[in-house]
Amino acid sequence: MFQVTLKDGVIKSFDAPVTVLDIAKSISEGLARNACCGLVDGNVQDLRFVVDKDATVSICTFDDADGKKAFRHTASHIMAQAIKRLFPETKLAIGPSIDDGFYYDFDRETPFTEEELAQIEAEMKKIAKEDLALERFTLPRAEAIAFMKEKEEPYKVELIEDLPEDAEISFYRQGEFTDLCAGPHLMSTKAVKAVKLMSVAGAYWRGSEKNKMLSRIYGTAYPKAADLDAYLEMLEEAKKRDHRKLGKELQLFALMDEGPGFPFFLPKGMVLKNTLLEYWREIHKKAGYVEISTPIILSRQLWENSGHWDHYKDNMYTTVIDDADFAVKPMNCPGGMLVYKLQPHSYRDLPLRAAEIGLVHRHEKSGALHGLMRVRCFNQDDAHIFMTPDQIRSEIKGVVNLIDSVYSLFGFKYHVELSTRPEDSMGSDEDWEIATNGLRGALEDMGMDYVVNEGDGAFYGPKIDFHLEDSLGRTWQCGTIQLDMQMPERFELEYTDKDGQKKRPVMIHRVCFGSIERFIGILIEHFAGQFPTWLSPVQVKVLTISEKSDDYAKKVAEELDAQGIRVETDLRAEKIGYKIREARNERVPYIIVVGEKDQEAGKISLRSRQGEEGQMDLNDFIGRIKAEIAERK
């Protein structure tokens, strides 16, 4: 007999080995019907996985991230099966699940057309109706290679040949179709009813430009048609909110062929950016930070000392100055180390919170560039906090509260992930344990829910990542807190402790917005360009009904400007309806219309985002909008 501990702490006893699916059935038939995979002692396992000893087991449905992956991975196999039925000469490459869907890479002489995607989708739905069981089996490496050669699948052969000699190779069979795969998968094709193939793109085999270009088909899948419809509606709304489209329409920024990945900010974009930075400086001053600025180009020796030259060089831009190697900074951290070393420090000086809006450059492949979301240069709102070990938890809590206040202001929900030590890392096991426990302890002290992201920490320390959710339900990774005991060691940072001994400070790297540019892109899409009044590049637009009111409109605009309100006028000889529509398209929060009657009464006619508000006194409006801006509503 052995015991299985479930997610809610309930313990079940079994006399004989059971599968994960059997465990789900023992809980409820409904759960078993919806099960996609399981977590056994923290490891993702197939529903077919046999449990024969004491273990902790969680059943994952489509509502869980791992369940979604298993569901959509099965969908990718169904797509591959459909393509082999319709276009049997096609060769299979790889087909993983990804965020919001799946893809599969195929080798075919001619790219797939939109009409063919519709055919494939129809065949996928047919396969789902066939209710084909997915059966897992394994083969020794040599037999697996022979099996794939017999099926004339050269890409699968290459993948197997890269595996160790003693590896046991797993396959999944569904009907006449078999694919090389580690799983996990659903028990049957039946559940994958709601599918949509989204697009076709080119993709090099194994991501290398030296290899053949394959056809990559992207798709998504849901258990229910209603959920798929809601997702597709969200995508349509996202297209309308695309920050690249709105950024151009609202004249915020430009992306040019002369600088791929290097955005140009236009006057209105600079107002938005600088307003964000004013807010950033205000909250950091209140939180006890000092602001610094470090150079963009620094010597190779510095980057070798920091570890970036060994761990990050492929993403760095380098140059030669006076016959010596230099690099454009991809991160602000090493410059912050040098600032700390400029003078001796006592424990009384700590914690020292040094913040920097630093322009960094990172080489991204051209195919990865995406508006402001993925660029090659950006401003990062870094801060480095130097502290004693006993200050770790309190400082992390302070940063968490700061980040929470920012996201709450913009109406973002968020979730937190704790990322642990990666394979390519620096430092001792002891340092990593202290650092990881420091982050974990702070989160637990605050009662915050978090997910552990094993092996995804920075090479110098574990981190807490904040994934914010926008108005469309999409998530973005922005804020991060990284605890680092390695750089203080590498740069020989010191402070004098109470006992007079020299000791190493512990350091936190943290960002709040993350990349300022990316955060602006997220805000554009989150608000669909309709920024809160305090953030809007133009807060009020004054429109005239006729040229007779031009002087009065200018006077109104001057009074608003004198009160620090960002205002523009539209004095063109156009119909007022046309001018109002244009102002609305520019997402201006308030539109003031003035005509002869307003001028005679010494008042204004106001339109807000809520609609027409009628005639009012200008001073009343000024008091209202100033309060709105001051409170950052």
The residues carrying an active-site annotation are 333, 362, 380, 382, 384, 463, 509
Q: Are 381 and 414 in contact (CB under 8 A)?
A: no
Please report the DSSP string for 225-254 in residue order.
Answer: HHHHHHHHHHHHHHHHH-HHHHHHHTT-EE
- The values of phi and psi at residue 438, to 5°, are -65, -45
Say if residue 471 is exposed, middle or buried (CB neighbours under 10 Å; 0-12, 13-18, 19+). Answer: middle
* Cα pseudo-dihedral 200, 201, 202, 208, rounded to 10: -120
List b or e across 387-402, with b for residues whose CB sees 16 or more CB atoms inside 10 angstroms.
bbeebbbebbbbbbeb
Sign of CA dihedral 253, 517, 339, 401: positive
Q: Are 134 and 187 in contact (CB under 8 A)?
A: yes
Q: Cα–Cα distance between 562 and 556 in angstroms, integer?
A: 10
Instruction: Say which residues have a Cβ less than 8 Å from residue 499's Cβ, sequence separation at least 6.
Output: none
Strands, sheet with 55-61, edge to edge from the N-terminal-most edge strand: 11-14, 2-6, 55-61, 35-40, 43-45
Q: Are 48 and 136 in contact (CB under 8 A)?
A: yes
Alpha helices in 463-549 (DSSP H): 486-490, 516-526
Task: Compute the radius of gyration of the chain from its Cα atoms.
Answer: 29
Q: Cα–Cα distance between 330 and 311 in angstroms, integer?
A: 12
Q: Are 594 and 605 in contact (CB under 8 A)?
A: yes
Nearest to 385 by CA among 499, 305, 295, 488: 488
- The values of phi and psi at residue 603, to 5°, are -125, -175
